[in-house]
Amino acid sequence: MLALAVISQQSWAAGARGTAKSVLAPLEAQMMSIASSVEQATAIFGDIATLRGENQRLNAENQDLRRRLAELDAAAYDNKELRQALDFQRTFGHRTAAAEVVGRGPDAFSRTLQIDRGSDDGVRAGMIVVSGAGLVGRVREAGSHGAIVQTLADPQSRANVFLSGSGLQGTMIGGPAALQLQVEHRLGSVASKGEWAITSGVGGGYPRGLVVGDVVSVTHSDAATTDAAFVDWVNDPATLSLVIVVLDFSPS
């Protein structure tokens, strides 16, 4: 190879050298093109790897932001619920005890709640349970440090109410979906959508003035003795985290 290199540089080999260059020029150009393509492909793969890493980093940051946002939303919800409960306790006029919801019944039909207050805190079976928004239900059973709350979603629940606009009386019937209301007929008055259903105190089951929900639909019939209505409950057992037990009201 050394001898070939020395010989190829001699002046008398110029013609052969030029001929060889002419012959090899297309091959050299082709090789340069292939090298350039390989370099571009390598650069593309490098860019793809970089973009993939950047995408993973952004996804991780996005998940972290979502988690923080969820935590902030939960904190805001808890603060709102706590403020409502404190406002309710200040204005309700009864002796109460706040309790945290620590469990929910496995039966989605009855929708019970487990709270962290029991007989050692003065909680007894039959006591009324509310939230800052309105009526939740009543204590079904109480242990030393906890109790089970039967919510209005239980089909066995009943509550006598009146409607805020028409003043009509009715009976609220529990259920896992929208609460049902049987509205008593009164000449010249018909229940209407948007009225608030509020406990009337009739029958002594609940104190007067607890908000239950708002009327979302009414079915009126002149031939019937009652009208049927559906009420959107102000409470959702699936999201309640704080409730209030009324300690000084004894249902009749």
pLDDT tens readout for residues 225-241 = 889 999 999 988 888 88
Evaluate whether residue 108 is within a structural domain: yes
Residue 194 has pLDDT above 70, yes or no: yes
Ranking 29-33, 50-54, 137-141, 162-166 by mean pLDDT, the lowest is: 29-33
Tokens of 109: 């039909």
Evaluate whether residue 171 is within a structural domain: yes
Kindly indicate the confidence band of residue 82, based on its pLDDT and cuts at 50, 70 and 90.
low
Where does a domain end: 92, 112, 135?
Answer: 92
What is the enclosing helix (H) or strand (E) of 235?
A: none
Evaluate whether residue 104 is within a structural domain: yes
Mean pLDDT of the chain: 80
- Report the sign of the C-alpha dihedral through residues 77, 80, 86, 88, in that order: negative
Taking phi over 0 as left and psi of -120 to 50 as alpha, with beta for the rest, 201 belongs to: left
Evaluate whether residue 251 is within a structural domain: no
Confidence (pLDDT) at 101: 93
- Report the sign of the C-alpha dihedral through residues 147, 101, 214, 178, in that order: negative
Digit-coded pLDDT (tens) for 137-180: 999 999 999 999 999 988 889 999 999 989 999 999 987 667 99
Where does a domain end: 68, 92, 116?
Answer: 92
What is the pLDDT averaged over residues 27-38? 69
Where does a domain end: 50, 65, 92?
Answer: 92
Q: Are residues 78 and 3 in the same domain?
A: yes
Count: domains in the chain = 3
Confidence (pLDDT) at 206: 92
Q: Are residues 38 and 81 in the same domain?
A: yes
Q: Are residues 220 and 176 in the same domain?
A: yes
Confidence (pLDDT) at 138: 94
Confidence (pLDDT) at 56: 77
Nearest to 136 by CA among 252, 217, 242: 242
Confidence (pLDDT) at 225: 86
Confidence (pLDDT) at 169: 93
Percent of the chain with pLDDT over 70: 70
What is the pLDDT averaged over residues 184-201? 89
Nearest to 217 by CA among 162, 189, 180, 174: 180
- Report the sign of the C-alpha dihedral through residues 105, 238, 118, 209, in that order: negative
Our CA angle for 54, 60, 64, nearest 5°, is 145
Residue of higher predicted confidence among 138 and 75: 138
Q: Which residue segment(s) compose the domain that 76 sits in?
A: 1-92
Residue 246 has pLDDT above 60, yes or no: yes
Kindly indicate the confidence band of residue 14, based on its pLDDT and cuts at 50, 70 and 90.
low
